[in-house]
Structure 1
Amino acid sequence: MTDPRRIALRPLARILDARQKGENPDAIERENLRLRHEQQRDRLRQRAESRLLVLAICFFAAFTAVGVKMTALASSEPEEPRSATSGTSIISTRADIVDRQGRVLATNLVTNALYAHPHELIDPVAAAAGLAAIFDDLDEETLLRRFGSGSRFMWVRGSISPEQQQLVHDLGEPGLLFGPREMRLYPNGAVAAHVLGGARFGEQAVNAAEIIGVAGIEAEFDEELRDPARNGAPLELSLDLTVQSAVEEVLAGGMTIMNAQGASAVLMDAHTGEVISLASLPDFDPNARPRPLLEGDPSQSPLYNRAVQGVYELGSTYKLFTVAQALEEGLVNPQTMIDTQGPLRMAGFEINDFHDYGPRLSVRDVLVQSSNIGTARLAQMIGPERQQQFLGRLGLLEALDFEMIEARQGRPLYPSNWGQLSTMTISYGHGISATQLHLAAAYATMVNGGTLVRPTLQRQLEPQLGERVISEETSVALREMLRAVVAEDEGTANLAEIAGYEVGGKTGSADKPNPNGGYYDDRVIATFASVFPSNDPQYVLVVTLDEPSISVLGETRRTAGWTAVPVAAEVIRRVAPLLGMRPQTVDPELAYSLSSASQ
Structure 2
Amino acid sequence: MTRTPLRPLARILRARARGENPDEIAAENLRKRHEALRDKARQRAEGRLLVLGLAFFCAFSVIGMRMGALASSVPEEPRATVAGNPIIGQRADIVDRNGRILATNLATHSLYAHPRDMIDPARAARELAAIFPELEQEELYKDFTGTRRFLWIRRQISPEQMQAVHDIGSPGLLFGPREMRLYPNGPIAAHVLGGASYGREGVASAEVIGVAGVERQFDAFLRDPANEGAPLELSIDLTIQAAAEQVLAGGMSVMSAKGAAAILMDVHTGEVISMVSLPDFDPNNRPRVLTSGDQSDSPLFNRAVQGVYELGSTFKIFAVAQAMELGLISPDTMIDTQGPLTWGRFRIRDFHDYGPELSTTDVIVESSNVGTARIAMQLGAERQRSFLDALGFLKPTSIELVEGSTGKPLLPPHWSEISAMTISYGHGLSSSPLHLASAYATIANGGERVTPTLIRGQDAQPGPRVMSQTVARRSVDMLRQVVSRGTASFGEVTGYQVAGKTGTADKARENGGGYYDDKVIATFASVFPASDPQYVLVVTLDEPSIHTLGEDRRTAGWTAVPVAAEMIRRVAPLLGLRPHVDTPQPVGVTLTSN
Q: TM-score range by the shorter chain?
A: 0.7 to 0.9
| In 2, Cα distance between equivalents of 1:444 and 1:466 | 12
Instruction: Give the corresponding residue for 1:343.
Output: 340
Q: Is the 8 A contact 1:259 1:550 kept in 2?
A: yes
Counterpart residue number, 1:146:
143
SS state at 2:119 partner: coil
DSSP 3-state at the match of 1:112: strand
| Misfit runs of 4+, over 3 Å | 73-80, 461-464
Are 1:92 and 1:211, in contact at CA under 8 Å, matched by a contact in 2?
A: no
**What is the alpha-carbon distance in structure 1 between the residues aligned to residue 247 and residue 385 of structure 2?**
36
Given that residues 524 and 546 in structure 1 are in contact (C-alpha distance below 8 angstroms), is that contact kept between their aligned partners in structure 2?
Answer: yes
Counterpart Cα distance in 1 of 2:242 and 2:84:
40
Q: Deviations over 1:570-597 (max 9, x none)?
A: 0000000111111111799xxxxxxxxx
Change (3 A) 1:364 1:279: same
Q: How does 1:169-248 map to 2 (within 5 A)?
A: 169-248=166-245
Matches within 5 A, 1:377-388: 377-388=374-385
Contact in 2 for aligned 1:189/1:287 (Cα 8 Å): yes
- Contact kept, 8 Å, 2:320 with 2:360, in 1: the verdict is yes
What residue number does 1:543 align with? Answer: 539
SS in 2 for 1:578: coil
Kindly state the Cα deviation for residue 447 of structure 1 after the two structures are TM-superposed. Answer: 1.3
**Counterpart-to-counterpart distance in 2, 1:380 and 1:104:** 52
Matched, 1:496 2:491: yes
| Structure 2 match to 1:397 | 394
Give the Cα separation in 1 of the matches to 2:430 and 2:241: 26
How many residues in Structure 1 have an aligned counterpart in Structure 2?
Answer: 506
Does the CA contact (< 8 Å) of 1:93 and 1:210 recur in 2? no
Is 1:574 equivalent to 2:574 in the alignment? no
Residues of 2 paired with 1:514 and 1:539: CA distance? 33
1:176-224 Cα distance to aligned partner (Å, 9 max, x none): 1110110000000000000100110111011110101111111111111
Q: Distance in 2 between matches of 1:390 and 1:126?
A: 72
Q: Tell me how far apart the structure 1 counterparts of residues 583 and 182 of structure 2 sit (CA, whole Å).
A: 45
Match for residue 137 of structure 1 among 134, 138, 144 = 134
SS of 2:506 mapped into structure 1: strand
Query: In structure 1, what residue type is equivalent to 2:562?
Result: P
Residues 113-140 of structure 1: per-residue CA shift (max 9 Å, x gap) = 0011111111011001111100011111
> Per the alignment, do residues 130 and 535 of structure 1 end up closer, same or farther by CA in structure 2, a change over 3 Å counting?
same
Could you say if the C-alpha distance between residues 259 and 208 of structure 1 is closer, same or farther in structure 2, counting changes exceeding 3 Å? same
| Correspondence for 1:308 | 305
Structure 1 residue 458 corresponds to structure 2 residue 458: no
**Are the equivalent residues in 2 in contact too, given 1:399–1:407 (CA < 8 A)?**
yes
Distance 2:334 2:452 in 1: 36
- Confirm or deny that 1:552 pairs with 2:552: no
By how many angstroms is 1:79 displaced? 5.8
Q: 1:584 aligns with which of 561, 571, 580?
A: 580
CA distance in 2, matches of 1:133, 1:78: 49
Question: For 1:94, which of 81, 91, 107 is the aligned residue?
Answer: 91
Instruction: Please name the residue that 2:468 is paired with.
Output: 471
The residue number in structure 2 matching 1:275 is 272
Could you say what secondary structure the match of 1:529 adopts? strand
Contact 1:504 1:534 (C-alpha < 8 Å) held by counterparts: yes
Mark the CA change 1:336 to 1:242 in structure 2 (over 3 Å): closer, same or farther.
same
Q: Deviations over 1:362-410 (max 9, x none)?
A: 1111111100000000000000000000001111010111111111111
144 and 394 in structure 1: CA distance in 2 versus 1, 3 angstrom threshold = same
8 Å contact kept, 2:216–2:402: yes
Distance in 2, matches of 1:211 and 1:92, equals: 11
Matched, 1:518 2:514: yes
- Within 2, Cα distance between the matches of 1:577 and 1:546? 28
Residue identity (%): 64
Question: What letter matches 1:576 in structure 2?
Answer: A
Contact 1:92 1:209 in 2 (8 A): no
Name the aligned partner's letter for residue 429 of structure 1: G
Counterpart-to-counterpart distance in 2, 1:314 and 1:77: 58
Q: Provide closer, same or farther for how the CA distance between residues 78 and 328 of structure 1 changes in structure 2, counting only shifts above 3 A.
A: closer
CA distance in 2, matches of 1:458, 1:389: 29
Normalised TM-score (structure 1): 0.83
1:88-127 matches, within 5 Å, as 93-127=90-124
1:149 Cα shift? 2.4
The answer to whether the Cα contact below 8 Å between 2:193 and 2:214 also exists between their aligned partners in 1 is: yes
3-state SS of 1:411 partner: coil
> Following the alignment from structure 1 to structure 2, what is the Cα–Cα distance between the partners of residues 520 and 487?
31
Give the letter aligned to residue 492 of structure 1: T
Structure 1 partner of 2:356:
359
Give the residue type in structure 1 aligned to 2:493. I
- Asked if 1 retains the 8 angstrom alpha-carbon contact of 2:89 and 2:225, the reply is no
Alignment of 1:369-384 (within 5 A): 369-384=366-381
Once residues 427 and 82 of structure 2 are traced to their aligned partners in structure 1, the CA distance between those partners, rounded to angstroms, is 67
Task: Tell me the distance in 1 between the aligned counterparts of 2:82 and 2:151.
Answer: 43
Structure 1 pair 461/199, CA: closer, same or farther in 2 (3 Å)? closer
Distance 1:263 1:586 in 2: 34
Shift of 1:535: 1.1
* Alpha-carbon distance between aligned partners in 2 of 1:567 and 1:185, rounded to the nearest angstrom: 31
Q: One-letter code of the match for 2:271?
A: E
Report whether the alignment pairs 1:564 with 2:560.
yes
**Cα distance between partner residues in 2 of 1:434 and 1:78:** 50
Deviation of 1:463 (Å):
4.0
Amino acid at match of 2:469: E
The 8 Å contact of residues 492 and 507 in structure 1, kept in 2 or not, is answered as: yes
Indicate whether 1:328 and 2:303 are aligned. no
**Cα pair 1:315 1:508 within 8 Å, conserved:** yes
Relative to structure 1, the CA distance from residue 396 to residue 134 in structure 2 (aligned partners, 3 Å threshold; closer, same or farther) is: same
Question: For 2:185, what is the secondary structure of its paired residue?
Answer: coil
Q: What are the Cα deviations for residues 311-360 of structure 1, in whole angstroms up to 9, with x where unaligned?
A: 10000000010001000010011000000000000011000001111101
Q: What is the CA-CA distance between 1:553 and the residue it aligns to?
A: 1.0
Contact 1:486 1:495 in 2 (8 A): yes
**Inter-CA distance 92–206: structure 2 relative to 1 (3 Å threshold):** farther
CA separation of 1:128/1:74 partners in 2, compared to 1, >3 Å: closer, same or farther? closer
Are 1:291 and 2:288 counterparts? yes
Paired letter, 1:530: S
- Work out the CA distance in 2 between the residues paired with 1:218 and 1:137: 28
Using the size of structure 2 for normalisation, the TM-score is 0.83
Of 503, 526, 529, the residue aligned with 1:508 is 503
TM-superposed CA distance for 1:461, in Å, is 5.5
The letter of the residue matching 1:515 is E
Is the Cα–Cα contact under 8 Å of residues 176 and 204 in structure 2 kept in the other structure? yes
